[in-house]
Structure 1
Amino acid sequence: MAEDGAVTVYNGSAITDTKKNPFSIKVGLAQMLRGGAILEVTNKEQAKIAEEAGACSIMVSEPINAGIWRMPDPSLIKEIKSVVSVPVMARARVGHFVEAQILESIQVDYIDESEVIAIADEDNFINKHKFRCPFVCGCQNLGEALRRVREGAAMIRTQGDLSNSGDIVKTVKSVRSVMGAIRILNNMDEDEIFAFSKKIAAPYDLVAQTKQMGRLPVAQFAAGGIVTPADAALMMQLGCDGVFVGSEVFGCSDPYKRVQGIVQAVRHYNDPHVLVESSCGMEDAVAGLNLSEDPIEQFGRGNA
């Protein structure tokens, strides 16, 4: 992947110089989060809990509302940055490069170009090579993942359920789709890669690099419906590098215990003894996170 070969698609008033932070450095910064849990928070109290419980990073998000979700209020991001020492992420709408410019100017550590919030541009994603800040992008299959990497994503978020329902089935399906395609690719002859690249609509050089590495060329985290230590360990055992955990985990009587349990499960996902300890006492913590209840209503009750 060429580090300085990005095509300029926006006007000449870019506020950053990518040569100061080439793609390889961005990928390295994202790799530093491997083996960790990234917690979504909506206020500084949740951010402190997440940091104390061992989260490797926090994702600042606006409180759940019925309107259009946009980039978080910069004042909220600044407030949270002032009380934590772990890296801070924030979301920008898909294709909304001005929101990304704003987030970079307030010095967030990572920007998530997220389909979880509203989409600003249905046809075009942000040219992430134009920014110093590493970007995170979502995917549901290998072709989508590699297209985002070509655009400059330094981390891939394999995405499942977007409704904060606690349902992990879509996340498992997406992760298995990506991992299954990589296994198929690994067993291909070199001559077959061209046709495979065309089939999944992904750049040939990135497909070839994925075959050579036996994995995505950037860190891969899972997101969506991960609310228990067992959920987190499942994602890790399926081959992910870490997990994103939604803010719904704070809607219980002891959010610190639940977050800490998830963090420990990510770190020790192959140790059944640790998983047992991490999972004990979680009945109350996940009682309301099931498909029969409105997740927004449940979240509101937990934070009342």
Structure 2
Amino acid sequence: MRAIQITEFGGPEVLVPTDLPDPVASGTALLLDVDRAGVNYADTHQAENSYLAAASLPLVPGAEVVGRLADGRRVVSLLAGGGGYAQKALVEPALSFDVPDGVDDTTALAMVVQGASAWLLLRRSAPLAAGESVVVHAAAGGVGSLAVQLAKAWGAGRVIATASSEEKRKLALSLGADVAVDSRAPDMTAALREANGGKRVDIVLDMTGGRVTDQSLAALAPFGRLAFYGMASREQPTPVRPASLLSHSTTVAGMWLAHAFLLPGDVLRPAIAELFGMVLDGRLRAVPGGEYALSEARLAHEALRSRNTVGKLILDPSR
């Protein structure tokens, strides 16, 4: 089969197309013919071995695939150990979800990682109460574009989107954001308060890091929550002091999707079912961010790292 294999860590240049033996199903694993593979920002960290979970070489990256099993079922699957950038992948039934008719491949892939992340952020990490203000950084991205829609659908009083270009800010507004802020604003604290009518904000969803995290934390209202789920800037924020949280009655939460597998019960299955239901009734849509041939995986990573992309990026293993 054709696949992308990493034999040394680094930037997009380490994503090398190659021929590998087909994976062999064993135990509970099932063999999936991959129709499309999802590309996530976390994949760029995995390629350089800067992700939360250390990687080992050689490595076929990719955490999500959609395709068909031998019995003809169309499923979208999470891959705990990678292997998605390939024409075939081994999937576990516990991490595979039937895709309803009417849900296309791009949407299915968007829901299983980025949609589930947005769901967990707003349901678990920083639970949204009706009428609260929600800041969504990187609002045109994969998680952000879905979080804007979910926050609005679930009763947010004001959704404040941040994005780096006029085009991205217009997209966020079209998805339901009430106001869009330039993510390059020199004083994000002031920009967020101004966008919220001069008031501090209740919830911030942040995957940027660095000064954006620091200044967003300073913009929180008493009992406000900041949910941190990525560090696209690759810049560490200032360490948070517990005394500072106490003095402002604020909460900082981290969220890594992998930990959802450790929760009691099957948390992700009803979450993804709810997301698919919202897609089918028109309350939620994935934003296509571009389809690349499998052989162009390097270009997809370059696009992600440039931070000029929107929505969901996918690979076509047939090319």
TM-score normalised by the chain length of structure 2: 0.28
Higher helix share: 1
TM-score of the superposition, structure 1-length normalised? 0.28
